Amino acid sequence: MSEHNLETNQAQIGSIRIADEVVAIIAGLAATEVKGVAGMSGGIAGGIAEMLGRKNLSKGVKVQVGEKEAAIDLFLAIEYGTNIPEIATEVQENVKKAIENMTGLTVVEVNVHVQGVIFSNMETHSEEDSRVK
Q: What is the β-pairing status of strands 48-52 and 37-45?
A: antiparallel
pLDDT at 2: 35
Give the pLDDT confidence score for residue 81 in this predicted structure. Answer: 94
Is the CATH number of domain 16-128 3.40.50.2000? no
**What is the model's pLDDT at position 14?**
85
Euclidean distance between CA atoms 126 and 108, whole angstroms: 40
According to the model, what pLDDT value does residue 36 have? 94
Question: What pLDDT was estimated at residue 56?
Answer: 63
Query: How many other CB atoms sit within 10 Å of the CB of residue 57?
Result: 20
Return the pLDDT at 41.
82
Extents of the domains making up the chain? 16-128
Q: What's the confidence (pLDDT) of residue 16?
A: 81
For residue 101, what pLDDT is reported?
Answer: 97
Low-confidence residues in the chain, pLDDT < 70: 1-11, 43-57, 121-133
For residue 53, give every residue at least 6 positions away whose Cβ sits within 8 Å of its Cβ, in sequence order, or none. 39
Query: Are 40 and 52 a contacting pair, CB within 8 Å?
Result: yes
DSSP percent split of the chain into helix, strand, coil, nearest 5: 45, 30, 25
At 51 the pLDDT is 53
Contact 76, 37 (CB under 8 A): yes
